[in-house]
Amino acid sequence: MVEHSVSLSASLGLLLMVFFSCFGMVSVREGERRAARVFFMAAMVGAGPLLLSALLPTPFPVIALSGCALLGVIVLFRCLFPIRRLTDPGGRATRRVDERDIMFARGRLRPGSPEFDAYYLQRPENLAGDNRTRSLPGLLSPEAEKAEPLAFAAADAGFRITEALRDAVDGPVAELQQHSMPEAWTRRLKELARRWGAVDVGVASLEPEHIYTPIGRGTGGWGNEVTLDHHWAIAFTVEMDHREVAHAPEAPVVAESARQYVESAKIAVHLASVIRDQGWPARAHIDGNYRVIAPLVARAAGLGEIGRMGLLMTPRLGPRVRIGVVTTDLPLLPDPPGEDLTVLDFCSICSKCADNCPVGAIPDGDRIVMERGRRWVIDDETCYRYWNVIGTDCATCMKVCPYSHPDNPIHNLVRKAIRVGPGTRNLMLWMDDVVYGRKP
Ligand code: SF4
Ligand code: SF4
């Protein structure tokens, strides 16, 4: 045992050094300087004593190995026997949302317009706060705090492309209707969406609570009831570039948001057009012209769970995505919903987004029970007002979320560990805080 301890100590030391150095190199490639420093330091501190003890006489190798074993047992014990109970799932949305109440719809109301008068007659409690927001520089304004001419121009160009696509979300349906099995339609349409750039695609049965009503923005007439009677929804995600999101809340992040809104709009409009050509009605739902609440549809389609910050948390990219939806009557095969207790459980201990939100718009407590199920409710008024101060869509919460790290084997290993149990979730959160900082 004693003679083996020397080689065991050296091998373990080398293994640890390679292990932490790999993490360090990945961090360098990702531009995460603090993480790289922590990992290279861990490679030295973790492997150093073991390698050194291998050069020293007995009993040093045995002592070093015993220390490692003790540490391993403590970590294993904490992972296998957590002190917390698992979060319960809570409820699901059951009530339809008036799109006129969402901040993007309210932000478009112009004083003196019939819509403005009609809305604040109905919701006088929102007038003072919304007027305060209207008095601020505004999104992409040159007077905004984070104004950066080129990035703002790039974002503006992106939003204008999406706007140009708003009238293309629907169109005439071919007279000749093609028929196939739901499995085959689903497989082929998912393949098309992926080929055009979607990261993940799912199908849900469209439920009344997924659909806004009345209309608050986009085509169709403000205040009109939504008459969407499609049976199925195809939801997909596109990735927001990690390096651009890392700039949040500075201007590059809004340029990236606009770029990905264009990408998701292109895929949705393209897909809906293909379906209509097969003789089935289909409508694309794109930025500024939704009839559905995209995160709820995406969750029902199995793409993820809704986290503390109110965004869809996807298994591979966390909240670092934009969502596109196509609704249709073409017979499809639904996916199981994205109910993920591990996300809810991790969010309940994490609160990193809440700690880093510059205006405290994300709750740091437990989920609250409300008519639309049990959930965290962000203060969207305060969040949107901040956007109008800085001129970008902020996205600090998206940037700091431990799920937002790039989709690579190392981060995926951490994501897998998060799914194992409450103990590993505690450990992964602690590691994320140490490596990236509580306030990155
Ligand atoms: S930062 Fe933490 S609490 Fe916030 S959404 Fe991400 S995992 Fe959940
Ligand atoms: S986008 Fe910014 S202001 Fe809004 S909730 Fe996230 S961190 Fe807070």
Res 1 pLDDT > 60: no
pTM over 0.85: yes
Peptide bond into 214 cis (omega under 30): yes
pLDDT tens-digit readout, 15-32? 888 989 999 999 999 989
Which strand (E) or helix (H) includes residue 263?
helix 251-277
Strands 321-328 vs 312-313: parallel, antiparallel or unpaired = unpaired
Domain ranges of the chain: 2-80, 137-379+389-406
Q: Mean pLDDT over residues 246-258, rounded?
A: 98
Q: Mean pLDDT over residues 228-238, rounded?
A: 97
* Confidence (pLDDT) at 86: 56
* Confidence (pLDDT) at 338: 77
Distant-in-sequence, close-in-space partners of 187: CB < 8 Å, separation ≥ 6: none
pLDDT tens-digit readout, 45-75? 888 877 788 777 778 788 877 888 888 877 7
Res 95 pLDDT > 90: no
pLDDT tens-digit readout, 403-426? 999 999 889 999 999 988 888 899
Task: Select from 305, 306, 309 the residue to mutate for testing ligand 1; criterion: most ligand atoms less than 8 Å from CB.
Answer: 309
Is the CB of 308 within 6 Å of ligand 1?
yes
Is the CB of 307 within 6 Å of ligand 1?
yes
Q: Mean pLDDT over residues 125-154, rounded?
A: 98
| Crossing angle for the helix pair 60-80 and 33-55, to the nearest 10 degrees | 140
pLDDT tens-digit readout, 118-133? 999 999 999 999 999 9
Average pLDDT, the chain: 92
Is the CB of 357 within 6 Å of ligand 2?
yes
Task: Select from 312, 401, 425 the residue to mutate for testing ligand 1; criterion: most ligand atoms less than 8 Å from CB.
Answer: 401
Res 150 pLDDT > 70: yes
> 319 C-alpha vs ligand 1 centroid, how far in Å?
9
